[in-house]
Structure 1
Amino acid sequence: MKIKLYLALLLAAGLLFACGDSEKSAEQLKPYEGPMQEAEDLELFYSESATLKVKLITDKLLEYASGNREFPEGMYMEFYDENGVLTSTFKANEAVYYKEENKWRGRGDVQLKNIENKQELDTEELFWKPDEEKMFTDKFVTIKLPDQTVYGTGLDAKQDFSDYTILKPEGVFSVDNNE
């Protein structure tokens, strides 16, 4: 009789602990927030009226339910004009596209080159808002021009890099007094 009572108590205690564990497990379950799609070794082309506008190359792309895209292993982009001529390139060690804000962020050895004007921007982080046609950063920047190199912290620029402002310039600058 004692053995049956002992087994019954042991079984009841086991059921109580099992129920408690399943309640805890249900509380610990969280919605999945990871990527919905993954792609590797990807080349994407965007064209308008059969003219190539943008070429994107990446080793890895993660796309989330929100529409955000992450390029954890870096990305390289080429931009073309209306005649299909390469105008600029963009490279970053990692990048993120925020769909809701329509904003890109490149980080880690970010390089933007304007082929036509022979200008190059180097920084550790750069944001790009295509709708506003502007780029910006609050990080240190180096801009290489054909005849000089300019340094500073912070940048606001047109997306084609035809006009830019370094917020806190540093170093020695050439000034043309003929203007």
Structure 2
Amino acid sequence: MRYLCFIAFAFFICGCNRTEVKPPVEYKGPISEAEKVELFYTENDKVKIKMLADMLYEFQNGDREFPKGIYMEFYKEDGSLESTLKANHAYFFKQENQWRGRGNVEVKNLQKTEQLNTEELFWKPADKKIFTEKFVTIRQQGDVLYGEGLDAKQDLSDYVIRKPTGEIEVKE
């Protein structure tokens, strides 16, 4: 019996001194950072898109975050500047090949002198389309259009406001 009590006491003492091993915490932050970034996307040796950003974070899965905003220029086949896009914050989702701009998003079509403003905008480069579910304002020559939701070409040359609001002047 004494021997049994000694074994129980030894297990109790060993159990109290046990150090707890915690599993390692997985790092989910950026694997690289860059400041004052200037990138060019080209097709057939012609610049199609110029991108400027003050800060770029790149993640393990290929996603990219632009926490200080982004500015992009889109060029036509002849090399002339067609449209611009800027946002206070941007994120590129590599798996979906899709961009999201947030906070004072602005798209300008320089050919038509039109400007889109919204708080959130998505861009699919493969389809050359932009879209949002948020409130939008489009300034045209002399008119301002309002609404919720938008589907458009990336250069804003053709668009549909899903739920337009406000008054529109129709010229006969």
Q: TM-score, normalising length from structure 2?
A: 0.87
Counterpart residue type for residue 19 of structure 2: G
d(CA) in 1 for partners of 2:50, 2:13: 64
- Residue deviations 1:81-135, cap 9 Å, x none? 1111111000000000001001100000000000001110000000011122211
The 1:69–1:172 alpha-carbon spacing in structure 2 relative to 1, beyond 3 Å, is same
Aligned: 1:162 with 2:163: no
d(CA) in 2 for partners of 1:91, 1:150: 20
Instruction: Find 1:30's aligned residue among 22, 25, 28.
Output: 25
The 1:170–1:13 alpha-carbon spacing in structure 2 relative to 1, beyond 3 Å, is same
Query: Which runs of 5 or more structure 2 residues have no equivalent in the other structure?
Result: 1-8
Counterpart residue type for residue 31 of structure 1: E
d(CA) in 2 for partners of 1:14, 1:38: 47
Taking only aligned residues, the RMSD between alpha carbons, in angstroms, comes to 1.8
The 1:161–1:52 alpha-carbon spacing in structure 2 relative to 1, beyond 3 Å, is same
CA contact (8 A) 2:108 2:155 kept: no
SS at match of 2:19: helix
1:20 matched residue in structure 2:
19
Report how many residues are paired: 162
Counterpart residue type for residue 68 of structure 2: E
Counterpart residue type for residue 94 of structure 1: H
2:6 matched residue in structure 1:
none
Q: Displacement of 1:34 after TM fit? A: 0.9
- Residue deviations 1:53-106, cap 9 Å, x none? 111110100011111000011000011111111110000000000010011000
The within-5 A match list for 1:24-173 is 25-26=22-23, 29-173=24-168
- Quick check: which one's helix share is greater? 1
d(CA) in 2 for partners of 1:146, 1:13: 83
Q: Displacement of 1:16 after TM fit? A: 4.6
d(CA) in 2 for partners of 1:83, 1:101: 29
d(CA) in 1 for partners of 2:107, 2:140: 12
Identity percentage of aligned residues:
50
Q: Displacement of 1:147 after TM fit? A: 2.1
Counterpart residue type for residue 82 of structure 1: E
d(CA) in 2 for partners of 1:60, 1:114: 26
Q: Displacement of 1:45 after TM fit? A: 1.5
Q: Displacement of 1:15 after TM fit? A: 9.1
Q: TM-score, normalising length from structure 1?
A: 0.84
d(CA) in 2 for partners of 1:92, 1:128: 12
Query: Which runs of 5 or more structure 1 residues have no equivalent in the other structure?
Result: 1-8
Q: Displacement of 1:176 after TM fit? A: 4.2
